[in-house]
Amino acid sequence: MSVTRIATRYAKSLIDLSSEQGKLEQVYADMRMLQSAVKNRDLYLFLKSPVIHADKKIAIFSALFKEKMDSLTLAYMNLLANKGREGYLAEICTEFVNQYKLLKHITTVKVITAVPLEETMLADLRQKVVASGITFDNLELQPSVDPNLIGGFVLEFDNKRYDASVASKLEELKNQFSKNLYIKEF
C-alpha cells in the first residue's frame, strides 16, 4: 500500500474519532506539534527504525509527550506503534492537518515578496484574495521573503501560482527579445 494511502486512511480515522469525542482542536494542536517534532532527525530515525521494538517506542512516546498531548493523541500514537505504522507519523501528521483545513474551510496562501510586508498590507491582501472568491473565507497567510524577486509578489495556494514579480516580468521580456520576430521584406 502506498504511503499516501496509509497516511490518508490513518489521518481520516483520527479526524473522525477526535470529532466524535469533541477533541478535534486539541488533537489538531497535537498533530501540529508532532509535525514539527518529527523534523528532528533523531526522532525521525527513531520512528523509522525496525530494530527498536514497539514496547520501547511506546515507553519513549509516553516519556516525551505524556504531559504535552491529549490522551487520545497519545493512545493513537501507541496504536500506530503496535500496528508497525509509526514510521509514517510525519506523513500522517501532514495529511491530518490537510484534512482538518479542508473540514474547517481554511485555505493556506503562501505570499512571497522581495521585502517583508507590513500588517496593513497583509490585511489588504487578505481582503482582496477573499473578495476574489477563489479561496475559502478563512485564510492562513504565510509570508516569506525572497530578495531575488526584485519587486512585486508571488501567491501560492491549492497547487496554483500567481506570479506578479518583477523578476518574472523581466524573464518574459528576455524571452520575447531572444526570439527574432523581425522579418526582412525587400
pLDDT at 45: 95
The answer to whether residues 62 and 130 belong to one domain is no
114 with 151: CB under 8 angstroms?
yes
Average pLDDT, rounded, for the chain = 92
The answer to whether residues 98 and 109 belong to one domain is no
pLDDT at 184: 66
Residue 64 is assigned to a structural domain of this protein: yes
pLDDT at 44 over 90: yes
Can you tell me the distance from the alpha carbon of 27 to that of 74, in angstroms, rounded to the nearest whole number? 10
Domain end point (choices 80, 102, 124):
102
Over residues 148-161, the mean pLDDT reads 91
Q: Which three cell numbers, joined as nine digits, stand for 26?
A: 486539541
Sign, Cα dihedral of 68, 71, 77, 81: positive
Domain that holds residue 167: 105-178
| Residues, the chain | 186
- As a dihedral over the C-alpha atoms of residue 76, residue 79, residue 81, residue 85, rounded to 10 degrees, the angle is -90
Which pLDDT tens digit goes with each residue over 66-96?
Answer: 999 999 999 999 999 999 999 999 999 999 9
